[in-house]
Chain A
Amino acid sequence: MPDTLLFAMEAAANGLTAGVMYALVALGFVLIFKASGIFNFSQGVMALFAALTLVGLQSGQIPFAHLINAIFGTRLHYFGFTLPTLAAIAGTVVVMIVFAWLVERYIFRHLVNQEPIILFMATIGLAYFLEGLGDLMWGAEVKRLDVGIPQGMSLAVDETTFNWFGYGFYMDTLELWAALIAAILVGALVVFSQYTKQGRALRAVADDHQAALSVGISLRFIWVLVWSLAGIVALVAGMMWGAKSGVQFSLSLIALKALPVLILGGFTSIPGAIVGGLIIGVGEKLFDFFMGPLIGGATENWFAYMLALVFLLFRPQGLFGEKIIERV
């Protein structure tokens, strides 16, 4: 087999695992958009905040230590004990649920019936608030996140591909794990929305707000529920990205990468988010592989958006989105 093809296949395989990461963030967007029509820009910052909280709880940091030190002149930093990973994850889930409740109670309850753009702006405001809060609570330095997932080159993949093609592919074990965890998460979400009472209520709300209200489904409860779910999805995404490249501000920028994914898949489709993520992941890796050397590299910065732009010109509702019908 020619070498270029092998390298391209390797790039594509790595693109698939990167795409899973994008899909994870996009999933959080879709959940909230379906249930409440809110285009939640803060999803990426929620991932950052969740990851920061996880690291903070794990290493026993005192929240707002810097702020307290600045006001009272104390020198607090750590409680002096560390939590096991599972307990820290549980703690973070609780924090994200409380956050979901606060968001519903203090922001979106007051913005019911506003235009979508106003709601969108409110989530940008929320993103800023959360970013500042995260930094203020846990400090802004880059943190290492270790949740016990092995990292580095996957020897199994290397060996198998070497036996098949005579060339070992380089793939990160962490990304393989991430793909697996994402698959489990999506499976759990599907089971939840198909077979539980709350899941059915969720789908009813996504279908029609008023009809759902009239059969006695509490919209507020559902909103808290989806924001909590989005928070948990954000936690998983934050964990994966954080373990890969450290918990830092750039983590929140993956939210922007999730936008073209959403465009490709359609705002309202969960399978769309996954397929869109994979297409973007593979597409940008392959494009950079073939075209990058010719036009100066780092095409990953914009390729996804350009792809989404071109795609939109032909199919404005995305791959799996509902057809847009407009009437006067």
Chain B
Amino acid sequence: MLYREAGDFKTSYTSDNQTFPIRFDRYGYYFVLGVAFLVMPLILNDYWTNALVVPFLIYTIAALGLNILIGYCGQLSLGTGGFMAVGAYASYKLMTGFPDLNIIFVILLSGLVTAGVGVLFGLPSLRIKGFYLAVATLAAQFFLIWLFTRTPWFFNYSPTGMISAPTRTVFGIPVTGASASALSMYMICLVFLVALAWLARNLTRGTLGRQWMAIRDMDIAAEIIGVNPLWSKLTAFAVSSFYIGVAGALLFAVYLGAAEAGEAFGIDKSFLVLFMVIIGGLGSIFGAFAGAFFLIAGPVLLKIMLVDNLGWATDLAAHLEIMIIGALIIVTLIMEPHGIAALWRTIKEKLRLWPFPY
């Protein structure tokens, strides 16, 4: 009834090619943006911001990045945790080395540093494919973490081996360090997420995105029709690592405040982001959001239910949580191998016809 395209006439190519061609979707998008920027700051309290919303925003950025690499370019990577660590340590070095540099630029520069490292570890992808590449990216994960825990220069010779974010401000409002309020954390993450998601959407439907998809679908065929595999694979690694680096920098500087490479950016982070991408849906921007929400909100809700309501021991709840996440992954894969995004697409198809099924 509500969700229909009848009467929604396109009069130019631009309007036909827009991201949300259906009017209802478009209004929905503006509505969500409005809620995120105007309503959420009013109703969010500190607990929900810290436990759910900020991690969701940050991991969505990481999932967007990994989705570009796996979902759009078809290069399987297990090095996400290591690349996030690069972003975090780069932002730390920049923040302590150049105290006057604005935090926004610090985070963007950390992303660029990570992009460079990503290209370096992406070079083998020209010769290695599939699972072999996944194992090769594991080398990045373990080597980078080892580097950050063993080289004192990276953590400024601090005796604990931890890095901690000093206070930095945007327009005079502290966004990192101990004095940052939950609201300012939320806003800076949200701004980055919206900008990067917009960028990702437009990159993936342009020339670059089409090249990536051609490489993903069949690299040899793509090469024959004139797609340069070197260029497309390395740009995919660069863009993806940029996103992941920004997510790592935000996670460390804004959310955690203090971090240690092995603990905060271990192999489990690589898998967490990978799950988000898979469950959300490969090759879908919406999928990154859905997957991140699913895997961030799920454990939080389970914990509230089991620990706070039923009074179980925390470790017991944690075990059950791993089990349920594992089972959910399997069930999702069996029911809908293409993730929540595919489910969403099916629902929309059905809605367009509803209430008349034919």
The chain B residue with its CB closest to the CB of A267 is B131
Task: Give Cα A132 to B316, complex, Å.
Answer: 9
In the complex, are the beta carbons of B319 and A135 less than 8 A apart?
Answer: yes
Residue B337 CB within 8 A of the other chain:
yes
Q: Which of B12-52 contact A (CB under 8 A)?
A: none
0/1 interface trace, chain A 61-77, chain B, CB 8 Å (1 if under):
00000110010000000
- With A296-B151, A305-B135 as contacts: A116 and B130 at CB distance below 8 Å: yes
Say which residue of B135, B142, B224, B337 sits within 8 Å of A263 (CB atoms): B135
Q: Which of A126, A128, A296: most chain B CB closer than 10 A?
A: A128
Residue A217 CB within 8 A of the other chain:
no
Residue A87 CB within 8 A of the other chain:
no
Residue B329 CB within 8 A of the other chain:
yes
- With A66-B316, A302-B143, A309-B124 as contacts: A114 and B220 at CB distance below 8 Å: no
In the complex, are the beta carbons of A127 and B334 less than 8 A apart?
Answer: no
- With A132-B319, A132-B323 as contacts: A121 and B135 at CB distance below 8 Å: no
Q: Which of A289-313 contact B (CB under 8 A)?
A: 295-299, 301-302, 305-306, 308-309, 312-313
What is the total number of residues of chain B having a CB less than 8 Å from a CB of chain A?
47
Residue A197 CB within 8 A of the other chain:
no
In the complex, are the beta carbons of A107 and B334 less than 8 A apart?
Answer: yes
- With A39-B131, A328-B221 as contacts: A299 and B146 at CB distance below 8 Å: yes
Residue A125 CB within 8 A of the other chain:
yes
Binds B, one of A2-10, A147-155, A172-180, A254-262: A254-262
Q: Which of B132, B145, B329: most chain A CB closer than 10 A?
A: B132
The chain A residue with its CB closest to the CB of B136 is A309
Say which residue of A67, A70, A122 sits within 8 Å of B330 (CB atoms): A122
Residues of chain B with a CB closer than 8 A to A115's CB: 337
0/1 interface trace, chain B 90-117, chain A, CB 8 Å (1 if under):
0000000000000000000000000000
In the complex, are the beta carbons of B337 and A259 less than 8 A apart?
Answer: no
Residue B230 CB within 8 A of the other chain:
no
Task: Give Cα A67 to B220, complex, Å.
Answer: 53
Residues of chain B with a CB closer than 8 A to A309's CB: 124, 136, 139
- With A298-B146, A301-B146, A328-B220 as contacts: A306 and B139 at CB distance below 8 Å: yes
Task: Give Cα A96 to B66, complex, Å.
Answer: 35
In the complex, are the beta carbons of B127 and A312 less than 8 A apart?
Answer: yes
Residues of chain A with a CB closer than 8 A to B321's CB: 132
B: which residues have CB within 8 A of A?
A: 76, 124, 127-132, 135-136, 138-139, 141-143, 145-146, 150-151, 218, 220-221, 224, 267, 271, 274-275, 278, 312-313, 315-316, 319-330, 333-334, 337
